[in-house]
A and B are shown apart, each in its own frame.
Chain A
Amino acid sequence: MTASTIGTGPGAWFRHIGSTVAGLGQAYRAGLRDRPKRTVALSVLVAVLLLYPYVAHTWLAAFSRNVFPLPLPDDTVETFMTIFAIMAIGLNIVAGFAGLLDLGYVAFYAIGAYVAAFLASPHWATLGLNFIFLGNVDQGTPGVHLPFWIVVPVAVIVVATFGALLGAPTLRLRGDYLAIVTLGFGEIVPLVFKNLSQVTLSVVLGPLKISMDRVDLTGGVQGINPIDSPFLPFLNIKFDARAGFLPVYLGIFLLLIAVLVARNLEHSRIGRAWMAIREDETAAEMMGVNTVRTKLLAFALGASFAGIAGAYQASYLGATTSDFFDFSTSILVLIMIILGGIGNIWGVIMGAITLVFVNSTLLPYIGQQVQNYAPSLPNPAQYNFLILGVTLLLMMRFRPQGFLPSRQREAELTAHGLAHVEAEMGVPLDMDNTSVAPPGQSETGMDARAPETPDEARDL
């Protein structure tokens, strides 16, 4: 039964993907039949989320402007929701799946943005470097101009490399020490971008002689602009700040890719190895997990998502400066995944959307209302981190697992037996009479675990 479901050869992959896509419709009908309420609710939610950018831009914004003010996220805020959701998914791989606390995630976001700036802006014209390849600019425009669709993969590769570079020295560190080192990295990278504006150096590497005299590498405090917008040829769409709701949909497209990649990684041998390391690194190592390799992969792959986010952010805004990438952004993404439900992809997306909404729309909105009706009161928009901090404290007290914890998925699994394994594989399993645990068993099952002993290496 199993061997026949997955063929061999180059066509097998396409056939498998095809049958998976075809199976989606079937799965949806099965969902409607077995759990109609949940399926309908999810469908409505997805439809609303997908239609919202268009509806809000076309009608709701005008209503809010002319009739009654509402806390509606605008096109830019929605785009940033997708950007932060991509980052949350990436950080979730490092911190959620592999359990490696990374407080400097913003560094990768910054590197992604600067890669976009280096590859699609007039910046290098000052060095006499002019190169246009399929870029959406007129012939003869100064500087290097590559299309967004090349910039993103390059950013992913560069950022993943830096992820591995950061990971390498931290491999022996655990917990607090790891957090401190990553924190340092997150501080250093934006500072480097800020300060490499007058580089003077002279290096001789064998036959290669590099000499620079006050060369501006990163644009310094001003940063780099203008950066080319993402451009869709044939349809002639420029995804910049003036393109209305269209950049939101490009963001959603990138987000979907991120979700797909993260999900596929999660349900695979590498995902299981990450979680094993998170649960017990020593035991994982003893069970044959190459912890060095696995942790490096977590850093590199996790960082690469920030590469997508950074490249898109810079291209969308058309500019980048090091000020975007301060420590608070690292913390913000971390709060997103903690609030949303660390370890769960859907949870962290929800956390990202919620937090960007609160930060960029709700608090300024309330602030505006306060200004209008009670100007003597403090403006809540200025206290966003105070409010976030209190929210986080309350969450930790009352719902430490986040909005959508990964545990919920687990409870779901128990109720539906091994069906999830088939679902995640997209193929039927070869199992005869597999008995299924009764619903809820794992939640109510006896917890007769031996008392926790301190994790003492010598007492292995």
Chain B
Amino acid sequence: MTAQGNSAASAGQAVLPENLLTRSVDDAALLVKARGVTKAFGGLTAVNNVDFDIPRGSIVSLIGPNGAGKTTFFNMITGYYVATAGEITFDGQAIVTRKGNKIRSLKPHEVTALGIGRTFQNIRLFGTMSALDNVRVGLNVHLKSRWWDSVLRTPSMLREEQATIAESLALLELVDLKDRADTWARNLPYGDQRRLEIARALATRPKLLLLDEPTAGMNNSETREMTDFIRKLRSEIGLTVLLIEHDMRVVMGISDRVTVLDHGEVIAEGRPAEVRANPRVIEAYLGRGAAEAQAQG
């Protein structure tokens, strides 16, 4: 990550002088590049003119108070929402583009095929399917056999199924759930469900993994395990990770970069330590009084 000047200081967006890290890094080093992304729901602008980059191989966090627009931004990257304005490219391919006056967005399954996997804030597993089958659904997007192959049980389909099961079991082993492969997802304990969701997301063979509050509802030791696991994903599989998280210890501990959203706008961006010291961030989280006290103290 080379430090260069920031050219994208667009209107209504405070860019800190020390925030010189990612913006103009050469495009090939960026996995995600979002420019001017806006999403309005009727009169409510949930995300307003956000520029956002994710360098390859980094762990980037998106934080902000409730209702700041983090999940909305997530949903635009994954194609679930069509942005009102802006552009998003992923690995050189357009997810959100402008065509004339119209904003075009890839469909969620197309985005998944490009290499973005995600988990959900509220666990959304396929409850009455086994852990193994949950993961196998994630692999669907890479399978080639058609329905008539399934009806006829063609050799190519059977080989593909074998490979699918082997890969799914390997993923379950990675998240330490191999011995629960046959258990219904909804019968798993909470922590196992969180890890199963990650295994399912990994099954889509992502380059970028979006984790929406992966440590929500976890105790200290579970949280530590999860952070170690996220680091391991980066170091061993080479994943790039985008994290939404409320637990500041998690965010500060593992992020290379942190972006803070408030009321749909980026109010701070930078290394964890820089962001933590930023008065606007403290104000957004704790109120103006706390920010002033911090400044005096």
Contact = CB atoms under 8 A, between A and B. Distances in A.
Contact of A286 (B72, B78, B193): B78
Interface of B: 41, 71-72, 74-75, 78, 80, 107-109, 112-113, 117-118, 120-130, 132-133, 136-138, 140-141, 143, 145, 147, 149-155, 157-159, 161-166, 169, 178-184, 186-190, 193, 200-201, 203-204, 212, 217
Interface of A: 2-3, 6-8, 12-13, 16-17, 20, 261, 264-265, 268-273, 275-276, 279-280, 282-291, 297, 301, 407, 410, 413-414, 417-418, 421, 425-427, 429-431, 434-437, 441-443, 445-450, 453, 458-460
A286 to B, nearest CB: 5
Contacts of B145: 268-269
A442 B183 contact: yes
Contacts of B136: 269, 272
Given A6-B159, A285-B108, A449-B193, A437 B183 contact: yes
A460 B133 contact: no
26 contacts: A6-B162, A7-B155, A13-B153, A13-B154, A270-B147, A271-B150, A272-B129, A275-B133, A276-B129, A279-B125, A280-B127, A285-B108, A286-B118, A287-B112, A287-B137, A287-B141, A287-B200, A288-B108, A431-B166, A434-B178, A449-B123, A458-B41, A458-B71, A458-B72, A459-B71, A460-B80
Given A13-B154, A429-B162, A286 B80 contact: yes
B118 A279 contact: no
A16 B155 contact: yes
Contacts of A453: 122
Nearest to A20: B153
Given A276-B126, A431-B166, A445-B187, A450 B217 contact: yes
A288 B109 contact: yes
Given A283-B126, A288-B112, A458-B72, A425 B158 contact: yes
A388 B188 CA distance: 37
B162 A2 contact: yes
A431 B183 contact: no
Contacts of A272: 129, 133, 136-137, 140
B204 A288 contact: yes
Contacts of B201: 287
A450 B217 CA distance: 9
Nearest to B128: A279
Given A264-B150, A447-B186, A434 B169 contact: yes
B137 A460 contact: no
A389 B282 CA distance: 62
A272 B126 CA distance: 10
Given A13-B153, A448-B190, A449-B193, 4 more contacts: A261-B151, A264-B152, A410-B130, A459-B121
B190 A450 contact: yes
A26 to B, nearest CB: 18
Nearest to B78: A286
Given A13-B154, A431-B169, A289 B140 contact: yes
B116 to A, nearest CB: 9
A8 B157 CA distance: 11
SS of B interface (majority):
helix
Contact of B127 (A6, A279, A284, A437): A279
Contacts of A280: 124-127
Nearest to A291: B109
A447 to B, nearest CB: 6
A446 B189 CA distance: 6
A13 B147 contact: no
A451 to B, nearest CB: 9
A264 B151 contact: yes
Contacts of B80: 282, 285-286, 460
Contacts of A287: 112, 117, 137-138, 140-141, 200-201, 203-204
B137 A430 contact: no
A450 B212 CA distance: 15
A437 B179 contact: yes
Contacts of A270: 147, 150
Given A2-B162, A12-B155, A421-B132, A435 B179 contact: yes
Contacts of A427: 158, 162
A291 B79 CA distance: 14
A288 B140 contact: yes
Contacts of A297: 147
Contacts of A2: 159, 162-163, 166
A16 B153 CA distance: 9
Contacts of B163: 2
Nearest to B216: A450
Given A6-B158, A16-B158, A450-B190, A289 B165 contact: no
A265 B151 contact: yes
Contacts of B107: 285, 290
Contacts of B130: 410, 413
Contacts of A283: 120, 124-126
B164 to A, nearest CB: 8
B129 A275 contact: yes
Top-4 shortest CB links A-B:
A288-B141, A268-B150, A288-B112, A279-B126
A407 B187 CA distance: 12
B137 A284 contact: yes
A443 B182 CA distance: 11
Given A8-B155, A453-B122, A442 B182 contact: yes
Contacts of A413: 130, 182
Contacts of B109: 285, 288-291
B155 A418 contact: no
B135 to A, nearest CB: 10
B189 A448 contact: yes
Contacts of A273: 137, 140
A291 B107 CA distance: 10
Given A287-B204, A460-B75, A414 B186 contact: no
A297 B140 CA distance: 15
Nearest to B114: A288
B150 A429 contact: no
Contacts of A13: 152-155
A436 B136 CA distance: 18
A458 B133 CA distance: 27
B90 to A, nearest CB: 15
A395 to B, nearest CB: 19
Contacts of A285: 80, 107-109
B112 A268 contact: no
A264 B182 contact: no
Contacts of B190: 448-450
A434 B151 CA distance: 28
A92 B258 CA distance: 49
Contacts of A268: 145, 147, 149-150, 157, 161
